[in-house]
Amino acid sequence: MAEPDVSYLNEPADGVPPVVQTPHQLARTIRLLTAGRGPVAVDAERAHGFRYSQRAYLIQLRRAGAGTHLVDPIAFGQPADFSVLAQAIADAEWVIHAASQDLPCLAELSLLPKQLFDTELAARLLGYPRVALGTMLEELFGVRLRKEHSASDWSVRPLPAEWLTYAALDVELLIELRDRLAEDLLVSGKWEWAQQEFDALVAGAGNVAVPRPDPWRRTSGIHKVRSRRGLAYVAELWRTRDVIAERLDRAPGRILPDLAISELAASADALGTTSARSAIRHIPAFGRRQAKRFETDWQRAVSHAAHLRESDLPPMHIPGEGPPHPRIWVTKNAEAAGRLTQAREALATRAAELDLPAENLLTPEHLRRIAWQPPNPATVEAIDEALSALGARPWQRMLTAEVIARAFASGGSSH
């Protein structure tokens, strides 16, 4: 089959609007959006990889009859409060691509939707293998977005003109994409599934994320650290870097890379207080300009870890919440391993029949939890109740509870 003709979308149809940076300009934006009609396309640009915070550095909005608006939240102070803007479009459906990424930074600005349509999630439910915005627009409309600024440092001011063009184009066809996907959801019988997913995103949009215990344990290269003392070096250096990064609002990895922390900690058994300075100076990353500014802080962290009593050192492993990693189930609980294998296979088959990813049919963690500790007896009703308690949506439970019950019976009988 011949590929469709594809053309680059280089400029918004109405041109690039001026950036909204004053209360007067914001009031005009609110008036226009209020007078507009239909859904509102919403997007946000962050400075991931450049800044410590995940705040929004630009907000894009577009609505029929109102045009496109580029709002600079930085110009309105920190934290900016755009609740008046949110109220103006509260009755409209907000269209966001990959909403779970943008909702947290929008919530910081008091921008929370009451109705949502997530075009990425809709595409997943429809079985599209690639769901990036550019890919979807190319496949469905034959237009290609230039994505060279997607990973740019959006905290810079003033924002370059070509970046603003890119930002405006991100919402240029979002409503049209929404309409096309909505039609497909209706035709395929998946509209209600999508609505339940969107409602769940809205319900959780304002929730504050629960901090991960011992976040330093996710430091790249930590698998090479073999002692509790070594873990103490990782923890102290990570915390020190985090304090500096937050104070400077810089991405931690731009101050000191993870691998430098792990490299120092991996040689922990040979380290002592007197060798702290030497160890830091022998690892190249500590000598780079940004890290070297804080050499005294690194030395203090290493010295503190070196002086910790044995009883105060972090454990090599912390018990995770929920079941262990599935790779060790066979040795720890063979029956659970059998249940999980059978259920995974059955759900993969069901997902293929429904033309959607297995992870969207049911969150993998939900399956792992009930496979590890199933209800007794594991009836369809009991599994449905267990899935509900874990947060599975009604459409997911309707399509999976019976499948899981049958698989558990098969898996259990094989052991």
CATH number for the domain spanning 347: value is 1.10.150.80
| 194 shares its domain with 263 | no
On whether residue 368 sits in a domain, the answer given is: yes
Per-residue confidence in pLDDT tens, the chain, 415 aa:
445 577 888 999 999 999 999 999 999 999 999 999 999 999 999 999 999 999 999 999 999 999 999 999 999 987 789 999 999 999 999 999 999 999 999 999 999 999 999 999 999 999 999 999 999 999 999 999 877 777 899 999 999 999 999 999 999 999 999 999 999 999 999 999 999 999 999 999 878 777 888 999 999 999 999 999 999 999 999 999 999 999 999 999 999 999 999 999 988 766 655 566 677 888 999 999 999 999 999 999 999 999 999 999 999 988 777 898 899 999 999 999 999 999 999 999 999 999 999 999 999 999 999 999 999 999 999 999 999 999 999 999 999 999 999 999 986 543 3
For residue 219, tell me if it sits in a domain.
Answer: yes
| CB neighbour class for 49 (10 Å; exposed up to 12, middle 13-18, buried from 19) | exposed
Predicted confidence at residue 2, as pLDDT, reads 46
Same domain as 42, residue 105:
yes
Same domain, 28 and 144: yes
The structure tokens listed for 272 are 């002592």
Q: How far apart are the first and last CA of the chain?
A: 49
Q: Is residue 259 part of a domain?
A: yes
- Same structural domain, 307 and 348: no
Rounded CA-CA distance 192/321 in Å is 32
Residue 273: its pLDDT value, please? Answer: 53
Q: Which of 283, 312, 341 is the last residue of a domain?
A: 312
Place of tokens 């900016």: 80
Judge if 125 and 164 occupy the same domain: yes
Please give the tally of structural domains in the chain: 3
Q: What is the pLDDT of residue 414?
A: 39
**3 state SS for the chain:** CCCCCCEECCCCCCCCCCEECCHHHHHHHHHHHHHCEEEEEEEEECCCCCCCCCCCCEEEEEEECCEEEEECHHHHCCCCCCHHHHHHCCCCEEEECCHHHHHHHHHCCCCCCCEEEEHHHHHHHCCCCCCCHHHHHHHHHCEECCCCCCCCCCCCCCCCHHHHHHHHHCCCCHHHHHHHHHHHHHHHCCHHHHHHHHHHHHHHCCCCCCCCCCHHHHCCCHHHCCCHHHHHHHHHHHHHHHHHHHHHCCCHHHHCCHHHHHHHHHCHHHCCCCCHHHHHHHCHHHHCHHHHCCHHHHHHHHHHHHHCCHHHCCCCCCCCCCCCCHHHHHHHCHHHHHHHHHHHHHHHHHHHHHCCCHHHHCCHHHHHHHHHCCCCCCCHHHHHHHHHHHCCCHHHHHHHHHHHHHHHHHHHHCC
* Same-domain check for residues 77 and 198: yes
| Same domain, residue pair 190 and 118 | yes
Residues 330 and 303 in one domain: no
Exposed, middle or buried: residue 136 (CB in 10 Å: 0-12, 13-18, 19+)? Answer: buried
Task: Give domain status of residue 209, yes or no.
Answer: no
The answer to the question of residue 1 being in a domain is: no
**Residue at 104 is within a domain:** yes
pLDDT at 378: 95
**Residue 98: left if φ>0, alpha if ψ -120 to 50, beta else—which one?**
left
Angle, helix 191-204 to helix 174-188, in steps of 10 degrees:
130
Residue that terminates a domain, selected from 175, 204, 233: 204
Q: Which domain holds residue 89?
A: 7-204
303 and 395 inside one domain: no
**Tokens standing for 81?**
């409060």
77 shares a domain with 42:
yes
Q: Which of residues 204, 225, 245 is at a domain's end?
A: 204
Per the domain annotation, does 210 fall within a domain?
no
Does any domain span residue 321? no
Q: Is the domain of 166 the same as that of 43? A: yes
197 and 227 share one domain: no
Beta bridge partners of 44: 59
